[in-house]
């Protein structure tokens, strides 16, 4: 798989990081486990075996300065596609044009990472790319399987059970599984985005991740929760792995 990707595909990672944030000021640059939050996603992308280049698109010169120091290429996003109402797809389309202009080479596969979802590893990215290739997909999203979730929907004053019948609950094992799009990893072919105006379309496939890797930082209360899993799950595993290699 590695040789196939190296020889055939130009895999580019794009990370979008706007400067404005209402819930957490300078959210993409807050200190998270000793690094600016954005830098974790850049490092994970640079650690991938398959990604050839990493770019950060932002309307903030401060963010772009940090991105460049972390080893990413930088793209200054125009103000008209950087406001609260601008879509990620608009920014991704702009980044595609800019990256191909600089590289003078067509992009084969785009890996889109959200900086506010730091609970991933380079191995997650590589495995997602392998799933994307093996399934011959046009797009992929990372997700987690929801175990024993009873979902309800409110319509005015009425409540409706969605994925089960509250009058006849049955056994948990008999319910169809549900999957939550967790926002950590998206992969797509550039033409799929250009033709559909959406990061997802065509033949869609999924890369499954553990539930704890689906937490993201949107509100101040999310920071400590994500920090716990980063320190006790991801970083502890990395330290243990390095110790084993040294002791061999």
Active site residues: 169
Full strand arrangement of the beta sheet holding 11-16? 73-76, 53-58, 11-16, 109-114, 178-188, 139-146, 204-208
Question: What sign results for the dihedral spanned by CA atoms 74, 197, 27, 19?
Answer: positive
Q: Look at strands 158-161 and 53-58 and give their pairing.
A: unpaired
What b/e string do you get for 66-89 counting C-beta neighbours within 10 Å, with b at 16 or more? bbeebebbbbebeeebbeeebebb
Report the alpha-carbon distance of residue 78 to residue 8 in Å, rounded. Answer: 32
């Amino acid at each position: 798989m590695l040789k196939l990707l190296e020889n055939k595909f130009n895999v580019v990672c794009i990370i979008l990081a706007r400067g404005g944030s209402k819930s957490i000021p300078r959210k993409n640059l807050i200190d998270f486990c000793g690094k600016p939050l954005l830098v974790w996603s850049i490092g994970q992308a640079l650690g991938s075996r398959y990604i050839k280049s990493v770019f950060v698109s932002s309307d903030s010169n401060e963010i772009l300065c940090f991105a460049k120091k972390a080893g990413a290429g930088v793209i200054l996003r125009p103000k008209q596609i950087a406001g609260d109402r601008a879509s990620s797809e608009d920014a991704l389309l702009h980044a595609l044009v800019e990256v191909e202009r600089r590289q003078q080479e067509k992009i084969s596969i785009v890996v889109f990472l959200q900086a506010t979802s730091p609970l991933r590893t380079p191995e997650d990215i590589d495995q997602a790319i392998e799933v994307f290739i093996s399934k011959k997909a046009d797009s992929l999203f990372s997700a987690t399987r929801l175990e024993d979730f009873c979902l309800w929907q409110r319509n005015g004053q009425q409540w409706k059970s969605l994925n089960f019948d509250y009058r006849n609950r049955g056994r948990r094992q008999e319910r169809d599984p549900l999957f939550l799009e967790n926002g950590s990893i998206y992969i797509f072919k550039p033409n799929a985005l250009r033709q559909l105006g959406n990061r997802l379309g065509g033949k869609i496939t999924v890369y499954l991740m553990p539930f704890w890797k689906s937490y993201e930082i949107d509100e101040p209360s999310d920071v400590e929760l994500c920090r716990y899993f980063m320190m006790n799950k991801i970083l502890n595993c990395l330290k243990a792995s390095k110790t084993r290699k040294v002791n061999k």
